[in-house]
Chains A and B, each alone.
Chain A
Amino acid sequence: MADKSVVLVTGVSKYWGALVAKQLLDRSLPQLGDPKPAMGILQVIGVDTEPPKVEIKGLDFIQADVRNPNFLELLKTEQVDTVCHLVLDEDSRPGETAFDLNVMGTMTLLGACAEAGIRKVVLRSSTTVYGAKASNPAFITEKHPLQGDKKHGATGHLVEIETFCSGFRRQVPDMILTILRFPGVIGPHVDSGLTRYLKQPIIPTLLGFNPLTQVIHEDDVVAALVHAVFYDKPGAFNVAAEGNPPLSKLLALAGRSSVPVLHWLAYWSDPLMRNHWPVDLDYLRYSWVADLTQMRTELGFVPQYTAEESLREFAGAQRLGKYKSQEPVSAKDEELLKDTLERRRRMKEQQAATPVD
């Protein structure tokens, strides 16, 4: 291994990518874990379709799209050790663009990683992949079959990605593939499905249904991803905050009141109202609480915030920050990336040629 481990973070101009890259560079390790991280000094390469809006100090930025055919070249040239793939369009509306980015993007990337012999890949997923079913156990373990609703945008994409990953693991047994499954993310800054739901002027719930819920704080998502980059923990892990309040308590803690809707009316109008419901209706009807035993034992990660703390913090600092990225077309340009890589190669050669004093 090179003396400098190279970590490549995709989606670095978006919320999660930027924060994870920053944390990796700050090398602020989570407080828990074994004393010897598997990795040494880090060099962080950020990849995205557009430059970061706020400059991240020390980040090596390359403008590229993961679906770029020359991405493999990038991985090889830069001698990347670990890839942290954080590009995920979580728009709940199903669409070809999002499918192409989420599913095809991840598949292409994983293919390139296998080809380039990348040691480790970290992916972000969601506990919605288990699906909300009446027959769910109260605490869903990682081994539970993925029954998430495939019709439903990001959840369906994640189910596809994860199903692909389980086959991929067998094909490339040497690669460490870590998948972290998070529930609804909450926090003062993040724009997630859950925060969008909680920021609506009228919050719909289903009359007579009060499922147990699970949340995770935005800082803990970043900390968990950084943890997964530093330590080698192959497999899929549920990562969530301590505590699973009923939906009514969650809303109360978030300082919001709800409007209950007859469930059959809600289901009946679902095709029309789909864009107004933040999540699939079943997720408001049945519990989908993930079991956290593996997170504590195997992964060795403990979130800092409990569910109640993060909800209270959210209630205290509720503010709106719509955040939506737009892809410039140039990022998909093969030639452009090729040129960029060539330029970088030249620069490196120059650096190597210059005698160090």
Chain B
Amino acid sequence: MSNELTPEEGIFPADLQPTNSEEPVEVGDFVETMTEDFNDQSVGVSEQASKEELIIELNRLVDRIRAYDPDYQAPQFSPRGWLEMLGENVQHMAPEFSQKIYEKAKGAFSSDFFDPDTWKGLWFMLNYTVEYQTDFFKRRLTGEYEVDEWGYDPEFIGLFKPFFDFMYKKYWRVQTSGMENIPDVGRALLVSNHSGQLPFDGAMIGLAVMDEHPCSRLVRSLYASWFPTLPFISTFLVKMGQATASEENGVRLLEQEQLVSVFPEGIKGVGKLYKDRYQLARFGRGGFVRMALRTQAPIIPVSVVGAEEIYISIYNARLIARLIGFPFFPITITWPWFGLFGLVPLPTKWTIDFGEPIPTDEYGPDAYNNLNLVSQLTNQTRNIIQDNIRSRLAERRSIFTG
């Protein structure tokens, strides 16, 4: 980073005061911006103009730290303390951040290493980063973080989002349509086909709405009551803001004006064999329609194409499943033969279509007791999803490229 920092233009004038004109930034944003700045510098190494620009940029960054946290004081600078801190903390920092530092250190001019301001600048920012990150863990350990009544933990999502972002954008190259059918505010019930042996489709629907919907809404998936019996997975799902599939939970979430997604095929859908792909299984007992009718929430049919081919399941080993207490045990062409590597899904091309909402407010609040209506709406939803899948399949030329 340091090639630009000449002694005359050092980033820490003694009279530097926090500027109030800058709005305080989110600390998370701040750390990200910082890494971006490290990147940008390599572009204009030789040009004086961009050099100055960057110095201004860096000075502004320091101002922003001070504006955000006026009380923050970096400890007294000393080369020895610097080295100690670097040695102690590099492995604790976010990997991308420490990697940037190493890269920059490689590309810097040797004269920069003799420039005290270089080290002072790094000292200030590293101290801040370390403090921010230790603060995060300290708050976790002392319980000073917020979860909602369902256990949804917004900070927790940040830890896993990069992985799912990669799967969404690079691996499955998910394409969406009909995002305008999802309301900006208020309740709605997303109903989708279910497949894929591991419920990646739920995660991708959630990510699609979070990233591509203009209001970036959180989708609350209702999952089978088998998942809470599994360690880690149970904790993960709760922290992601999801809940077990029961009418009480669905109704309560919808009454809180949430976006709820259900998979009426349930376990039957997840454990679908490859030969049965895109054939919708029985749609539960119509519980999702009762949920929608009780809360008068619109039903949005969602069809996911691509997820049904991520594992080629050829057999359901019921006996093994019963022995280990699983609802099904798929034998795919890679699992369990290749151990954990067999769990790597195929990089199919996905499309997620959000269909036109089916209104349910015209039936009145007691309509959920009308068995006839419930089964009629169940079939209607199922047919729409099946039709959308069929038309998508007709357009598709290849499983892998779409």
Contact = CB atoms under 8 A, between A and B. Distances in A.
Given A134-B225, A134-B226, A135-B244, A246 B147 contact: yes
Interface in A178-214: 206-210, 212
Contacts of B149: 139, 243-244
Contact of B238 (A134, A207, A212, A251): A212
Interface in B289-345: none
B246 A137 contact: yes
Given A137-B244, A139-B248, A212-B238, A253 B143 contact: yes
A287 B244 CA distance: 11
Contacts of B233: 208
| Most A C-beta atoms less than 10 A away, residue of B143, B145, B230, B238 | B143
B142 interface: yes
B212 to A, nearest CB: 28
Contacts of A244: 149, 151
A249 B143 contact: yes
A32 B152 CA distance: 31
Interface in B186-234: 225-226, 228-234
B229 to A, nearest CB: 5
Interface string B231-260: 111110011000110101100100000000
Contacts of A311: 143
Interface of A: 134-139, 141, 206-210, 212, 243-246, 248-253, 257, 263, 285-287, 311
A138 B249 contact: yes
Contacts of B141: 252, 257
Interface in B142-157: 142-143, 145, 147, 149-151
Given A134-B226, A137-B244, A209-B234, A252 B150 contact: no
A263 B231 contact: yes
A245 B234 CA distance: 15
A251 B238 CA distance: 18
A135 B140 CA distance: 29
| Most B C-beta atoms less than 10 A away, residue of A138, A139, A263 | A138
A134 B230 CA distance: 10
Closest 5 CB pairs of A and B: A208-B231, A252-B143, A137-B248, A208-B232, A253-B143
Given A138-B243, A138-B252, A246 B228 contact: no
Contacts of A253: 142-143
Main secondary structure of the interface of A (DSSP, over half): loop
B325 to A, nearest CB: 10
A134 B229 contact: yes
B235 to A, nearest CB: 4
A114 to B, nearest CB: 34
Contacts of A263: 231
Nearest to B245: A135
A311 B144 CA distance: 12
B244 A208 contact: no
A243 B232 CA distance: 23
A135 B246 CA distance: 8
A87 B235 CA distance: 37
B336 to A, nearest CB: 20
Nearest to B151: A212
B188 to A, nearest CB: 20
Contact of B225 (A135, A139, A208): A135
Contacts of B228: 134, 285-287
Contacts of A134: 225-226, 228-229, 244
27 contacts: A134-B228, A134-B244, A135-B246, A137-B244, A137-B248, A137-B249, A139-B149, A141-B248, A208-B231, A209-B231, A209-B234, A210-B234, A210-B238, A210-B239, A212-B151, A244-B151, A245-B147, A249-B143, A250-B143, A252-B140, A252-B141, A252-B143, A253-B142, A257-B141, A263-B231, A287-B238, A311-B143
Contacts of B230: 208
B150 A208 contact: no
Nearest to A136: B244
B223 to A, nearest CB: 11
B143 A208 contact: no
B235 A138 contact: no
